[in-house]
Structures are given as structure tokens and as C-alpha cells.
Amino acid sequence: MRFLKKLFQIVSGKKYRNCPSGAAVDPVAQRALKAGLINSEQLMAYCDSYTTGLSDDTLAEGLGSHWGISSPQEAAETLESLGRYGHRFFYDIVFRVYSDGASGEGRQEVLEALIASGRYGSPETVRKQINAQGPCEEKDLVFPALEGAMEMLENLRSVFRLLEDKVNGSYLPKDYSAGILAWDLGRLVTVARMSLDCKYIGLSEFNKILANVDAELCSNFSSWPQFAKSYIIGRASWAGQNMTLGGIIGIAEDLMTDEKSPWVLSPL
């Protein structure tokens, strides 16, 4: 219900909130903040500044309930994981398994890809530990990751070639194969801004994150509509088809077409 209330506020005209104390002036920061615009509009945060302008209660709920962040250490760990892996780590695996036409549910193929990635340790060691009797750290890491990846694979199957928006039209297989980097970048910007507001990270670390987001943005996307496709595919692969996805696509469509939108005013 809270999301629907915010969505109603957006479509009824309360959008693109500007910070009363001034916008970010650095061009790198400005571009990086625009990568988080879909999230900003969801939250009704400021669209142009380091601070989100959100209440302490909203920040605590957003970071605590949705991200498990209540300390500087947890913020640092989450931001590092988002920047290095995000959901694109799993998406790249499940998209490859899906594209290869895995037999059955594809569970064994996904498990082997997770092991072979090296994220959870030496592949040889991880295979040995997983096949051994009794509990071990490798099992505690790999099996929860496997369940998350399998859920993403099912979501991908349910949305493949069905997604579209009013600007880009129907999404093609090449759009899905391009990955979901935008989804991770948008969330990274938002979590970093909220963490800065809560004083979980300092300004120097925040600026470093924005610089990295900007570098990824400029290297991988040539337009905001292209960015929007990647974001929407990421969101759909994470949670599948539901009412909230339609709202997010609507926000993205507005950002791509509204003459007052920061995306329209500052093309990528």
C-alpha cells in the first residue's frame, strides 16, 4: 500500500523533488544521481542532491527492513557487494543456463556455474566440501545462493520476451542478453545516498561510489531508454511479474518522456 500511495503521488504531479538547499554541481555526481532516478521517484526522494530528503523513520525502514543495514559495517558490506556483484552476478549465470536450453529445471547447471565462478572459493575445494558429509561453510554459502539463482531463473522464464515500455517497445532477446547492470547501479546510488544520510558512510566514500557508477554508466549505456530497459529487466528478473513491476515501468516511461524529467533535460 505504501508503494501505491507513493505511485499515486508521482502520477498526480508530485515528482522530481529538488533539494531546497541546492543541487549537486559536479557533472560526475549529477550523472550518477540520475542513474538512481527510478528509485528516487519510488521513494519520493530528492532527485538532484546527495541527501535524499527522507525522514529518519523512512531511512531506518528502507535500510533496515529492505537491506539489513543498521551500522556502518553493514552499509560498507552491502555497498561493496552491490558494486562488485549485485544481482547481475546471478543474472548472467541464469541467463546463460536459460539460453543454453538446460534440461529440466536447470538446477545442476546453475549449481555448477556458481561453483565454477570462484566467488565461494576454489572450485575444486567447494565441490569437495559440498559432496562431503556434514555441514561446512561452503554449503552455507553456495546453497542459499543456489536457491536465489533458481528463483531468478524462474522469474526470467516468466518474463522473457514479454517485457515492453512505451518508448522502447517490446524487448528483444538482445536486450535480455545485455544484462541488468542498470538495476544494480540504480540501487547502489540509492543505498549510498541513504547510508550517507544516516552517517554510515562518509562523503569521500560516497563520492568514490558515484565516480564508479558514472564510469560504468558512460561505458555501458548510450541513452537513458537503454538504461531503463536494463533496469526493468533486472527488476522483473528479481521479483517476476507483479503489480509493482507495472508501477516501476510507468515511472521509467515518465522519466523517458516528461519534458520536465531530469533524463529528458540531460540526455545521456
Whether residue 191 sits in one domain with residue 136: no
For 206, the domain range is: 2-84+180-265
Q: How far apart, in Å, do the first and last CA atoms of the chain sit?
A: 33
* Domain final residue, candidates 162, 191, 212: 162
Structural domain includes residue 97 = yes
DSSP 147-159: HHHHHHHHHHHHH
Cell of 187: 540501487
Report which DSSP code applies to 55.
Answer: -
Whether residue 117 sits in one domain with residue 56: no
> How many structural domains compose the chain?
2
Q: Where does the chain show beta strands of DSSP type E?
A: 164-165, 169-170
**Is 176 in contact with 98 (CB distance < 8 Å)?**
no
What are the pLDDT tens digits along the chain (268 aa)? 444 444 444 444 468 999 999 999 999 999 999 999 999 999 999 999 999 999 999 999 999 999 999 999 999 999 999 999 999 999 999 999 999 987 778 999 999 999 999 999 999 999 999 988 888 898 999 999 999 999 999 999 999 999 999 999 999 999 999 999 999 999 999 999 999 999 999 999 999 999 999 999 999 999 999 999 999 999 999 999 887 899 999 999 999 999 999 999 999 9
Q: Which residues contact 8 (CB under 8 A, 6 or more apart)?
A: none
Structural domain includes residue 175 = no
Whether residue 205 sits in one domain with residue 185: yes
Whether residue 24 sits in one domain with residue 77: yes
Structural domain includes residue 221 = yes
Whether residue 147 sits in one domain with residue 210: no
**Is 152 in contact with 92 (CB distance < 8 Å)?**
no
Whether residue 197 sits in one domain with residue 141: no
CA pair distance 190, 18, nearest whole angstrom: 16
Whether residue 236 sits in one domain with residue 191: yes
> Which helix or strand (DSSP H or E) is residue 68 part of?
none
